[in-house]
Amino acid sequence: MLASLELSGTPFQLGQALGRFGAEAANTYLVNSEAWETVMAWRGTDVAAQMQLLTAQHFPRTLDELRGLAEGLQLPFDDVFLWNCRGDVWAMPPDGCTTVLLPSANGPRITHNEDGDPGFAGFCGIGMFRPDEGPAFASFLYPASIPGHTFAVTQNGLAMTVNNLRSRQVSAGLPRMVITRALLEQRTLEEAVTLLENTPRAGGFHLSMAQRGRADLLSIEFNAQAVSVLQVQQPALHANHAIHPAMQSLPQVITESSRHRQERGDALLNTDDIDPMAILADQSDRPFPIYRNAADDSDNENTMATADIHIEEDHIRWRVYEKPGQAPLLNMVDGQPV
C-alpha cells in the first residue's frame, strides 16, 4: 500500500517531514544496498561539489529541502545530496518507468507506470505539499528522495510524469532531480521548457507534460547536451530511453527491458481500441514485461504504482493504482484526494 501524507512549511521543514517518512527504509535497506554503495563512490569528487554549488546558486530552496531531508533521515547531508544525484553520476540506478501519451482535443491523457527499486516496496507514498513559498502540488514519493522525479500534479495545473534516461556522460551541471523539482513551481508549459533550456544540466530525463485547460501534450527529452521538445499529435509510448530523433545519437544505455517495453508498447498502440491501462498491465513478454513485479527483474526494478491522469478544461482528474486492473488507491482532483 502507498502512504498518504500532507506536508507544509518552509523548504527545510518539508525536507524534514520527507526524511522522517523515509527514514526506516533508508536506514534499514537503502544504505546497505549496492545502489547506495555505487553512488557513494562519488563522495568528495569535483563533480559532486560542483553540482552542490550549482544547486545553491540556482535553487537555494531545493538545497534547503535537501538539508531538511538529510536531517529527517539522520544521514550525512553530502550523502543524501549525492543520492539525489544518482542518475547524474551513474547510468544504471534502479529507476525506469513506462508512459502512454494520448492527445485529445478534449484534453490529453497521461498514463504512467512508476518503476523503481523493489527494496522500496511498501515504503512509498503520495505527498500533498503546501509549501510556504511556491505552489501546492501532489507527487509520488520514494524514501530519501525529493519530489518531482516521478509523477506529479500542481496547483498551477501542470501534470508531469518522469522516465529515466540512462545517459553515459557525466557532466558537472544541475542534478536532474533538482531541475524537475523546480519544474513543479513553474506556471506554464512555456516556463517549464524555458527553465530546461536555460539551466546547466547534468543527467537526463524524459518528461510527459500537459496543462489544465490546454490541448497541448509535450514529450520532452533532456540531458547535459540537449533539450528536445515534441508536441504529441498521435498516441505514443515512452519506455525510458531516448527516442526523439534529435537525441538518439547521444550516448546512452538502452537495457533489454527498456527496448522490449518500447517495442511491445508501440505494437499495442497500433490498434483501433487503445487502452492505456491494459498496455501498462501487459506481461505477455515474460522476460521483459511492461508491468514489472518479478523478483529477478532484469533491471532490478518493479512497478510501484500506476497513475492515470486526465487533463481537462477546469480540473486534472487522476487516479493512482497499486496495479492496473485493481481498484484505485486514490482518486484525485488537482492536488487533493476526493
Dist CA 156 CA 184 (whole Å): 9
> Higher-confidence residue: 172 or 296?
296
Strands 3-9 and 125-131: parallel
Average pLDDT score, the chain: 96
pLDDT score for 91:
84
pLDDT band of residue 94 (cuts 50, 70, 90) is confident
Report pTM.
0.97
Cα dihedral 278/289/309/143 (nearest 10): 140
pLDDT band of residue 1 (cuts 50, 70, 90) is confident
Contacts of 269 (CB under 8 A, 6+ apart): 100, 235, 236, 237, 279
Residue 32 has pLDDT above 80, yes or no: yes
Residue 50 has pLDDT above 80, yes or no: yes
- The 10s digit of each residue's pLDDT in 157-214 is 999 999 999 988 878 899 999 999 999 999 999 999 999 999 999 999 999 999 999 9
- Give the three-state DSSP class for 119: helix
Residue 64 has pLDDT above 90, yes or no: yes
Residue 226 has pLDDT above 80, yes or no: yes
The grid coordinates of residue 229 equal 521538445
Q: Any alpha helices (H) in 59-215, and if so which ranges?
A: 60-73, 77-83, 86-89, 176-183, 189-198
Residue 67 has pLDDT above 80, yes or no: yes
The grid coordinates of residue 104 equal 485529445
pLDDT band of residue 258 (cuts 50, 70, 90) is very high
Residue 306 has pLDDT above 90, yes or no: yes
Mean pLDDT score, 274-297: 96
Residue 250 has pLDDT above 90, yes or no: no
pLDDT band of residue 314 (cuts 50, 70, 90) is very high
